[in-house]
Structure 1
Amino acid sequence: MIKIIGILLTLIAADFYLFPFVPSVLPVGINVKMILAGLALPCIAFHLAFQRKALVSKDLLIICLFTIPISLFSLLSNVYNNTSDFSFNFYFVSVFVWMAAGFTVTSMIKFVHKELSVQLLADYLIGVCCLQCILALFMEFTPSLKDLINGMMSGEGFMGNVGDRMHGLGCALDVAGGRFAAILTIIAILMTKAQSKIKIWFYTISFFIILVIGDMIGRTTIVGGGLSILYWIYYQIRVNGSGNGFYKHLLAALCITIPIIVIVYSTNPVFYERLRFGFEGFFSLIETGRWETHSNDILFNHMVVFPDNMKTWLIGDGYGANPTENDPYYIGKTYHGFYMGTDIGYLRFIFFFGIFGMFSMIALFICFWRTCYNRFGNSLKGISTMLLILNLIIWFKATSDLLPIFAILLCISGTDQNEYESRMLIDRQIS
């Protein structure tokens, strides 16, 4: 019973980590992720007192070094352009807050299960995403539940931006879509490694829940689904058709999922509207023969804007957000949305602190990838590579990134992962 309570509390902590929100009972600006980061202090004290291991590793020092150029190029752009938009100046703070919050979650996992691994952490994150998707779907059909959940969140920085979009508890828009996509790619890899049928079914059912409902919340989710399919094709070619037969479970789940979706789509107007929004491109392709979505039309027709001078290309204009909203001295052109009217991540980086700042952001995530790639065993190296590819793709759509996923993965040491894999190998040999 105590372990079940521990698992539930850890699941809640993982949810607060992956989808942080500002509770309506707390002052504006304090979200649940910051609370988790604050709780990292006693976790660190416990670690130092009882495990007698250093927390500041070479990997952490290297990550610190890679965050410095981002702040320096941001400061240079602010000073040269005389702007007060500090959108990326303190990105290093975000890195360490996410890592501190992630350390709290992973410490709870290790305390409850007496071990820690990428697979165990992934199971919690997958569970969180499934629960958020189910909650969001129930909120669409139950107005009272929707009012209750919305009442738990401060409108500052979240509810005001969601509008009528489908959402969960702190889970909405491209941010949710990117994290759903990341979890889908992790599921795709873990599904090929799973040994028990229970695990394979858990991953299979979770994959379809997140793919279908998650895409209604944030359409970036579909990118993770596409990368997962490509990975499975690569995997089947590489292993020459052998493996654990996960594709049989996929086909079986697909045969069940499609009829359910068709029936609900045909009978429920709410689900009809949400499904058409989430899979707008597919419906457009079937009905008109062309892949078209409203967001992509806006993206390609209005947001592809390049700098027209060398100064902006090199050090940027010092604006990330809409300058008319936070700079009282700005007298330039008015934009809808972000500076220069573009939400494309790479362009926003360039307009804020130039190509050098953009490359410093890319370099940091390559550092994340390299650290995870070297830390975990050969069987899980693909996770870091898939996450890096996904992150680079997401920046074609928005500036949201996969820092939360990389940060919590970095809280798992190579020793913890090796101990877990050794135990699993022994268990398989015994059975």
Structure 2
Amino acid sequence: MFKLLQYLFLTILVSFYYFPIGLSILPSSLNTKNVLALAGIVLLLYSSMRSKRYAISLDLIGAIGLAVFFSMVCLYATDVNHTVDYAYANYYISFAVWLFGAYAVCTAIRLVHGEANFKLITLYLTAVCFGQCVSAILIDRIPSFQILVDTYVSQGQEFFEEVDRLYGIGAALDTAGVRFSLVLVMLSALLVQDAAIRKHAGKVTLLLLAFFTITLIGNMMARTTILGFAMALAYLGIATGVWRMVIQQRFFTFFLIFLLILVLGISISVYLYQTDEAFHDNMRFAFEGFFNWVEKGEWRTDSTDKLNREMWVWPTDTKTWIIGSGLFDNFVYSTDIGYCRFILYCGLTGFSVFALFFVYNSYVFAQRNQRYALMFFFFLAITFVIWVKVATDIFVIYALFYCLDGIETNPFRRQVPAQTPLSPAT
């Protein structure tokens, strides 16, 4: 029972990191991500004092350098344009908050499990995303539960209700969709690479149930989730070799369970679509493109039409193309598109540094562990594809990887293999 409570506590902790929220018991200026970052700083100082010295990997130093350089370019953009919009001029602070928050989360996992590795963080993130999807349905269907959540959680739910969108406890809109997408890809990588899990039919079944639940309900919350589903399927096809139309024996049970759950899920979805009005409406939203294709012969959605019609806004002068206008906040250019917003804010100069930052992170972890190189390639693909829709980033996931154990080191690191980029030197 005590172990179960520990696992539940860790799941909540991971959720507070991955889907940060404001709580009524916290000052309005603090959210759970900030609290975890403060805890991470304290834990890091304590570990450093105990070990007498501390080591940071060259990989992490490179990431810090790029984050600071990007912040400096954005600061220059605000200075040269005489604005006070520091949305990304303070990116180094966001970088540090995510990194120290991840350190706190991984330290807690390490205390309970003895290590913090890829398998454990994937399982906890899967549990968190599954829980968010269940919470979204409960909030939508049970008014008393919605009142309970809205009373103690501050997450801008007034806007979610105004636009009539499902929301969980910190998970909503495209931000949730992007993070669901990352976990779907991680889960597919775990199922392919971890033979011990794949040999256990019960574990495979539970993980695939979570996979399809996150895909279905996550898409009802944010259609961006479909990107992760598509990339997870692409990962499965490439990594298992099934794209050659041949199923290897070691993957036979996995694909059998996959197909059975897929058929069961489609059957239940069709039944609920025909009998439940709320589910019907959510499905129409989640798969609007599919329904338009079937019913009207064209694949389109209202949001895509809006993007194409009015949100491709580019600089109109050379100076803005080079260094931007120093304006980002308050939807100043009436566009959500990441490419447009970043270039309008800090020009091609700042955008190039920001893009390089994510190329660098993906390359670092692909080099550290060749088994998961394809997964990090898909992370990079998500980064560049999602900027077509919204201005956000995925350092939230890389921060966790910088703090995990069990990642193979590359030749440029000066630490012993057992150490992580954020761990006391021994």
Q: So what's the TM-score if we normalise by structure 2? A: 0.90
Alignment match, 2:247? 241
Contact 1:191 1:204 in 2 (8 A): no
Alignment match, 2:236? 232
Is 1:139 the counterpart of 2:145 in the alignment?
no
Deviations 1:324-376 (A, max 9, x none): xxxxxxxxxxxxxx22211100110110010010011101111211222223x
Q: Which residues of 2 match residues 189-204 of structure 1 at below 5 A? A: 189-195=189-195, 196-204=200-208
Between the aligned partners of 2:181 and 2:207, the Cα distance in structure 1 is: 14
Contact 1:342 1:348 in 2 (8 A): yes
The letter for the 1-side match of 2:380 is L
The letter for the 1-side match of 2:259 is L
Q: Which range moved further: 69-78 or 349-358?
A: 69-78
Deviations 1:184-231 (A, max 9, x none): 111121121233323322321111010000001111000001111222
Alignment match, 1:217? 221
Contact 2:192 2:240 in 1 (8 A): no
Contact 1:181 1:224 in 2 (8 A): yes
Q: Which residues of 2 match residues 249-398 of structure 1 at below 5 A? A: 249-322=257-330, 338-375=331-368, 377-398=369-390
Contact 1:23 1:31 in 2 (8 A): yes
Alignment match, 1:43? 43
> What is the CA distance between 1:253 and its match in structure 2?
0.3
Deviations 1:300-340 (A, max 9, x none): 11101221211110011111123xxxxxxxxxxxxxxx222
Between the aligned partners of 1:281 and 1:348, the Cα distance in structure 2 is: 25
> What is the CA distance between 1:232 and its match in structure 2?
2.0
Query: How many residues in Structure 1 have an aligned counterpart in Structure 2?
Result: 402
The letter for the 1-side match of 2:108 is M
The letter for the 2-side match of 1:224 is G
Q: Which residues of 2 match residues 55-66 of structure 1 at below 5 A? A: 55-66=55-66
The root-mean-square deviation of aligned C-alpha atoms, in Å, is 2.0
Provide the secondary structure at the position in 1 that maps to 2:20. Answer: coil
Runs of 4+ in 1 over 4 A off after TM superposition: 49-53, 414-419
Contact 2:13 2:105 in 1 (8 A): yes
Provide the secondary structure at the position in 2 that maps to 1:400. Answer: coil
Q: Which residues of 2 match residues 8-27 of structure 1 at below 5 A? A: 8-27=8-27
Choose between structure 1 and 2 for higher RCO, CA contacts under 8 A separated by at least 6 residues: 2
Provide the secondary structure at the position in 2 that maps to 1:340. Answer: coil
The letter for the 1-side match of 2:150 is N
Q: Which range moved further: 167-176 or 399-408?
A: 399-408
Between the aligned partners of 2:158 and 2:354, the Cα distance in structure 1 is: 28
Contact 1:115 1:416 in 2 (8 A): no
Q: 1:65 to 1:261 in 2, by over 3 A?
A: same
Between the aligned partners of 2:52 and 2:218, the Cα distance in structure 1 is: 42
Contact 1:117 1:416 in 2 (8 A): no
Provide the secondary structure at the position in 2 that maps to 1:290. Answer: coil
Deviations 1:32-79 (A, max 9, x none): 111111111332244335566734222221111111221121112111
Contact 1:194 1:200 in 2 (8 A): no
Alignment match, 1:326? none
Uncovered stretches (5+) of structure 2, i.e. residues with no partner: 410-416, 419-426
Q: 1:276 to 1:51 in 2, by over 3 A?
A: farther
Between the aligned partners of 2:240 and 2:400, the Cα distance in structure 1 is: 29
Between the aligned partners of 2:301 and 2:284, the Cα distance in structure 1 is: 10
Q: 1:47 to 1:259 in 2, by over 3 A?
A: same
Deviations 1:217-275 (A, max 9, x none): 11100000111122222234378531422221110101111111111111111111111
Q: So what's the TM-score if we normalise by structure 1? A: 0.89
Between the aligned partners of 1:254 and 1:180, the Cα distance in structure 2 is: 19
Provide the secondary structure at the position in 2 that maps to 1:339. Answer: coil
Q: 1:401 to 1:161 in 2, by over 3 A?
A: farther
> What is the CA distance between 1:404 and its match in structure 2?
0.7
> What is the CA distance between 1:281 and its match in structure 2?
0.9
Alignment match, 1:332? none
Uncovered stretches (5+) of structure 1, i.e. residues with no partner: 323-337, 420-431
